[in-house]
């Protein structure tokens, strides 16, 4: 099933590693424009490899990577390891610190239809092509995707706890999350990790575009290195966490809609065929609103906030072609009824429309609407982890940006090369 390998990470040299906060970066799909501007000012920040600039960004990243290697900015670890990765965080209003425990490892980038790695969201073609081109040019991965596995024994956590007591790095990231990285190089311990997960399937929590890009790259390289037992292009960097006994947290992602040329009154009339509508005052009232009932959403238009509730008697008109586990999801209702039936955006158009945007920050949603940029905002509630697992196991996918697993993994803690001469190793010792 899941084919894992340890790897020899490239990491910032010992001196640079003392100030890793200045060199790490958010993932390519969550870094804001202002964050990019700041990070680009540091010529050694990892964003130059994950979100490169220039007329040909992928080739620019390649030039920078080769320069960093030649000058010793980054150096490759001498032996393969599994990199234990703990993230300590608090949610708003909480005093007790949570810890999400996991490890980074190479995993074979199997196609979705092989049933080893399950996705839960659709992807955007342009973003996949961008990631594939970057991988083609650099043959290195600057950040991991995030996968979930199920193991009620928590055996691996005990091995990780032992390793994390001697960290390579400890820093605070852009989210205010305390990031701790350690490495396991003991052959027998690594073998236990690989054996424990060999019969597992993986649920992809985050990084659909990067993994789909890796799958496309693997297919394009299938003719190379026919004599090699382990081929670098087959593998992909993933951060794996256990869904049992772990702080796997999903935050909501809200929707912003731009350029709708109807009045608020007209819009409210249009949606009342499908939704019950109740005004609750100012937009700030939604910040602490508890959406107890399924199929309920917040609506912000101008200075007014509403709670809209889908009418259950209309449920038979919601995607009868889909299995019940998917039809029941809030976001399927929202995208099919509001954006498709009422506003006329087909599922395909929703994936590429510049009218529809996704925003996790509630305050930013309010500012976009009140500032007259967005016509309205839809405030959603978070999905439950069990719902994500059910959908994945059914073989279905959710609307894009259905989940926001928090905290996000950090880019630049290490780099994983799939360049054959840097990847090549006698991995057989780990399977004895």
Using one digit for the tens of pLDDT, what is the confidence trace for 382-417? 888 888 888 888 878 888 788 888 899 999 999 999
For the chain, report the end-to-end CA distance as a whole number of angstroms: 18
For residue 249, report the phi and psi dihedrals to the nearest 5 degrees. Answer: -115, 135
Q: Is the pLDDT of residue 292 over 80?
A: no
For the chain, the average pLDDT equals 91
On whether both 292 and 350 belong to a single domain, the answer is yes
| pLDDT at residue 199, rounded to an integer | 92
| pLDDT at residue 27, rounded to an integer | 82
For residue 277, report the phi and psi dihedrals to the nearest 5 degrees. Answer: -120, 130
Residue 116 CB contacts under 8 Å (≥ 6 apart), including other chains: 1, 2, 3, 108, 110, 201, 202
Domain boundary among 366, 381, 396: 381
DSSP strands (E only) in 340-432: 356-359, 376-379, 404-406, 416-417
Q: Is residue 389 part of a domain?
A: no
In Å, what is the CA distance from 300 to each residue of 10, 149, 280, 362? 46, 37, 10, 11
Whether the link from the prior residue into 407 is cis, omega within 30° of 0, is yes
Residues pairing with 104 in the sheet: 83, 239
Whether the CB-CB separation of 121 and 16 falls below 8 Å is answered with no
Residue 74 CB contacts under 8 Å (≥ 6 apart), including other chains: 10, 11, 12, 13, 68, 415
Mean pLDDT of 361-375: 93
| pLDDT at residue 287, rounded to an integer | 81
| pLDDT at residue 190, rounded to an integer | 97
Residue 417 CA to residue 231 CA, distance in Å, equals: 11
* Residues across the chain: 432
Of 156-170, 247-261, 281-295, 312-326, minimum mean pLDDT range: 281-295
Residue 215 CA to residue 112 CA, distance in Å, equals: 9
Q: Is residue 395 part of a domain?
A: no
On whether both 44 and 144 belong to a single domain, the answer is yes
Residue span of the structural domain in which 308 resides: 253-381
Of 24-28, 42-46, 110-114, 275-279, minimum mean pLDDT range: 24-28
| pLDDT at residue 126, rounded to an integer | 66
Q: Identify the band that residue 308 occupies on the pLDDT scale cut at 50, 70 and 90.
A: very high
| pLDDT at residue 125, rounded to an integer | 66
On whether both 377 and 263 belong to a single domain, the answer is yes
On whether both 180 and 268 belong to a single domain, the answer is no
Q: State pTM to two decimals.
A: 0.89
Whether the CB-CB separation of 141 and 218 falls below 8 Å is answered with no
On whether both 239 and 331 belong to a single domain, the answer is no
Q: Is residue 400 part of a domain?
A: no
Q: Identify the band that residue 75 occupies on the pLDDT scale cut at 50, 70 and 90.
A: very high
Mean pLDDT of 314-321: 89
Q: Is residue 68 part of a domain?
A: yes
On whether both 275 and 370 belong to a single domain, the answer is yes
| pLDDT at residue 321, rounded to an integer | 86
Q: Is residue 416 part of a domain?
A: yes
Work out the burial of residue 238: count CB atoms within 10 Å of its CB; fewer than 13 is exposed, 13-18 middle, 19 or more buried.
Answer: buried
On whether both 107 and 227 belong to a single domain, the answer is yes
In Å, what is the CA distance from 83 to each residue of 241, 383, 416? 12, 29, 11
Residue 184 CA to residue 343 CA, distance in Å, equals: 53
Residue 286 CA to residue 305 CA, distance in Å, equals: 7
On whether both 224 and 298 belong to a single domain, the answer is no
| pLDDT at residue 34, rounded to an integer | 84
Q: Is residue 101 part of a domain?
A: yes
Q: Where are the alpha helices (DSSP H) in 139-255?
A: 155-164, 187-197, 208-220
On whether both 414 and 370 belong to a single domain, the answer is no
On whether both 71 and 31 belong to a single domain, the answer is yes
On whether both 305 and 342 belong to a single domain, the answer is yes
Q: Is residue 121 part of a domain?
A: yes
Q: Is the pLDDT of residue 207 over 90?
A: no
Q: How many structural domains is the chain composed of?
A: 2
Q: Is residue 144 part of a domain?
A: yes
On whether both 196 and 276 belong to a single domain, the answer is no
Q: What percentage of residues in the chain have a pLDDT greater than 70?
A: 99
């Amino acid at each position: 099933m899941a084919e894992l390998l340890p790897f020899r990470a490239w990491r910032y040299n010992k001196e640079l590693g003392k100030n890793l906060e200045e060199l790490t970066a958010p993932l390519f799909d969550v870094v804001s424009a202002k964050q990019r501007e700041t990070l680009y000012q540091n010529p050694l920040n990892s964003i130059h490899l994950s979100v490169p600039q220039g007329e040909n960004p992928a080739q620019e990243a390649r030039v920078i990577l080769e320069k960093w290697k030649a000058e010793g900015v980054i150096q490759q670890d001498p032996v393969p390891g599994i990199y234990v990765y703990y993230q300590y965080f608090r949610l708003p209003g909480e005093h007790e610190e949570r810890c999400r425990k996991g490890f980074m490892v190479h995993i074979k980038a199997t196609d979705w239809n092989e049933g080893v790695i399950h996705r839960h969201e659709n992807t955007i073609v342009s973003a996949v092509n961008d990631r594939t081109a970057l991988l083609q040019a650099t043959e290195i991965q600057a950040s991991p995707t995030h996968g979930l596995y199920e193991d009620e024994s928590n055996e691996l956590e005990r091995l990780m706890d032992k390793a994390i007591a001697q960290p390579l790095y400890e820093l605070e990231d852009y989210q205010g999350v305390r990031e701790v990285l350690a490495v396991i190089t003991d052959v027998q311990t690594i073998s236990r990790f690989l054996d424990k997960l060999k019969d597992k399937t993986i649920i992809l929590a985050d990084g659909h575009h990067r993994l789909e890009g890796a799958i496309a790259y693997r297919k394009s390289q299938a003719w190379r290195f026919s004599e090699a037992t382990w081929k670098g292009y087959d593998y992909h960097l993933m951060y794996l966490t256990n869904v049992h006994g772990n702080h796997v947290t999903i935050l909501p992602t809200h929707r912003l809609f731009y350029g709708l040329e109807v009045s608020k009154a007209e819009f409210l009339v249009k949606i009342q065929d499908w939704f019950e509508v109740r005004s609750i005052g100012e937009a700030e009232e939604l910040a602490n609103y508890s959406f107890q009932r399924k199929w309920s959403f917040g609506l912000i238009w101008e200075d007014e906030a509403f709670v809209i509730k889908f009418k259950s008697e209309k449920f038979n008109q919601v995607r009868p072609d889909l299995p019940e586990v998917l039809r029941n999801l809030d976001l399927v209702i929202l995208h099919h009824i509001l954006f498709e039936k009422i506003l006329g955006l087909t599922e395909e158009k929703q994936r590429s429309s510049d009218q529809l945007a996704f925003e996790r920050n509630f305050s930013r949603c309010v500012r976009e609407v009140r500032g007259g940029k967005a016509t309205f905002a839809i405030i959603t509630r978070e999905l439950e982890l069990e719902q994500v697992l059910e959908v994945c196991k059914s073989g279905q996918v959710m609307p894009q940006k259905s989940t926001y697993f928090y905290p996000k993994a950090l880019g630049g803690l290490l780099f994983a090369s799939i360049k054959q001469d840097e990847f090549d190793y006698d991995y057989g010792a780990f399977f004895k």
